[in-house]
A and B are shown apart, each in its own frame.
Chain A
Amino acid sequence: MSEQAISVRNLTKVFESGEAAVHAVNGVDLDIHGGEVAMLMGPSGSGKTTLLSMIGCILRPTSGSVRIQGKEVSGLKERHLPRIRLAHIGFIFQGFNLFPALTAGENVEYVGLLKGFRRAEARRRAQALFEQVQLANKYDTFPADLSGGQKQRVAIARALAGDPDIILADEPTAALDSQSGRAVMEMLTKLAHTRGRAVVIVTHDNRIVELADRIVEIEDGKIRRDHQEAS
């Protein structure tokens, strides 16, 4: 296990709803290391996605601290956060969130372009990632013409395109059949174990639990149980 990729201390998010205040995340402490696959599990509304959003620097915490690769990010100004996301974090979404107007390859190239690579270099990198996710023959296909499993593999390639230290995945297997879901999970696990990336997965899917290194159970915005799995 390598260094701490994510370190969360006393993290709290309160949503004001009229007179009432809802503690979506309430004083969470959590460390996740590079090479580790951690699954955040819990019932709907338990605060998993809110926690993931704050780790991903999309949602600002009400209080507490988030460190990414040792750098405190919770106090950073809004304009500095995209650079942190681009440099350190790759996202995978339940609904894939591919850009339908771009080909599968262009979806991945786009991250390279955001990082400042020229089109040719972004393309070369994207093609290498397509080899890695075994979709080389689908590079010029539009997302609408891909299966769910293929879309999620493109999403994984896109998440890796910025060469991030951390992969955050929200229900990555929920829209997939068991075979595709397992293939996606094996891909993510391999990424963590062979490339040292920290992989955080929000899931309800018990079929993939066995592939996690660690399961963090969340309820009412708090960590109820945090235990290592024998992987």
Chain B
Amino acid sequence: MSLLARRNLLHDKVRFAVTLTGVVFAILLMVVQFGLFVGFLETTSNNVSHSKADLWVVSKGVRYFDIGGWAPFSERKLYQILGTPGVDSAAKYIIQYIIWKKEDGGTENIQIVGFDPQSGLGGPWNVIKGNPEDLKADNAVFVDDLYRQRLGITHIGQVGEINGYRARVVGFTEGIRSFTTSPFVFASFKSAQNYVRLPENQTVYVLVSARKGVDLQQVKRDILARVSDVDVYTTAEFRWMTQRYWIFTTGAGVATLIAALLGLVVGVVVVAQTIYATTIDHIREFGTLKAIGASNLHIYRVIIEQAIISAVIGYIIGISISVAIVYLSRRNEAAILLPWPVALALFALTVVMCVSASVVSIHKATRIDPVLVFKT
């Protein structure tokens, strides 16, 4: 590492602090904006992502997760699906908007999720209290810790009412947010069927677990060949369809996407400006370096090393603060998520931004007017 690169940064501590502040601010901006967008994506499709299913069988024309309740189909199709080569197991699944009545008489819109506790496909995750096995009991439900207050729930065993039926809370999950603002309430398929008054021989979706190693696209084709009036999607496909629907058909989705992109652009500009200003501050020194015999390559190295040191230290500080913000946001309804691939991508982006900005100033440093070197 170049002696001059390190010393230049550390010598003027105020300047270095300003540089780091710029980098840290850019990282925070990008993490918060992009984290909100990632949180938005995750929230819109969390039930699909965490379903443990390989394939989703839906009524023909269903284009996203939350709408399925309006288009149930006959459960006879479940048996046709189970007989399809490559299918290991399959289970019925309900998602439906419905009203929750609190003990004090108030009401809340919820989305009831009915799954098969035997197979576990589509069941709750992040369970912090209770056992999903307890959902096998009639009218037993899990609610999320985030929405306890809204649903008027303070403890396990408390009873609410869904569509005239008792709903006894037997467990809590954590961080299962609902994009539609209607909290998810998990119950067995049978209980949910009662709540939403779905006819006994009907289901909203069928979730399929495929045999290990089979070609999912082939299983999809085989199901479509056997079962009429349905569409079949892999979990990844159905998740993306749901995310795409909420991003592009709601103002909130587009706004979050634009904010994330703006965060990225503003972050890039702030870092570029900061690093450029830092390099230009030392332009005379680079002229001197050139005069005393340093090659352009050496000058590039000094400038790029300064940029990388700033990027790495700025990233470490920025990402540490970001992790704290993400941690603190875990109990908010608007999630800020920072998956590690995003954190890694941000690191790469920060280094690339800093180096690119310094490269712009390199152009200036290596074409410096000699008069600048000779005059005071």
Residues on A facing B (Cβ under 8 Å) = 49-50, 52-53, 56, 58-59, 78-79, 82-83, 85-87, 89-91, 93-95, 97, 99-102, 106, 110-111, 113-115, 158, 162, 170, 174-175
Task: Give the docked Cα–Cα distance between A50 and B374 (Å).
Answer: 10
**B225 on the A face (CB < 8 A):** no
Contact B292 A158 (CB under 8 A): yes
**A82 and B296 contact, CB distance less than 8 A:** yes
The residue in B285, B288, B290 that gathers the most chain A C-beta atoms within 10 A of its C-beta is B288
B-side contacts of A82, CB under 8 Å: 290, 293-296, 298
| Residues of the B chain whose Cβ atoms lie less than 8 Å from the Cβ of A93 | 288, 291, 373-374
In the complex, besides A58-B290, A89-B293, 13 extra interface pairs with C-beta distance below 8 angstroms are A52-B374, A58-B373, A82-B290, A93-B288, A93-B373, A97-B291, A101-B8, A101-B12, A110-B3, A114-B293, A114-B294, A158-B292, A162-B292
Q: Given the complex of chains A and B, what is the CA–CA distance between A89 and B288 in angstroms?
A: 13
C-beta contact mask, B351-376 vs A, less than 8 Å → 1, else 0? 00000000000000000001101111
Known contacts being A99-B4, A106-B3, is A91 close to B370, with CB within 8 Å? Answer: no
Cβ-defined partner of A86 (8 Å) among B12, B292, B371, B373: B292
Q: What is the minimal beta-carbon distance from B288 to any residue of chain A, in angstroms?
A: 4
Main secondary structure of the interface of B (DSSP, over half): helix
Binding site for A on B (CB under 8 A): 3-4, 7-8, 10-12, 284-285, 288, 290-296, 298, 370-371, 373-376
| A85 and B291 within 8 A (CB) | yes
Question: Which residues from A are CB-within-8-Å of B11?
Answer: 100-101
Closest to A103 in B: B7
> Which residue on B lies nearest to A54, using beta carbons?
B370
Q: State whether A94 and B4 are in contact (beta carbons under 8 Å apart), knowing that A79-B296, A85-B292, A111-B293 are contacts in the complex.
A: no
A58 — nearest CB in chain B belongs to which residue? Answer: B370
Separation in Å of the A82 CB from the closest CB of chain B? 4
Contact call B4/A110, Cβ cutoff below 8 A:
yes
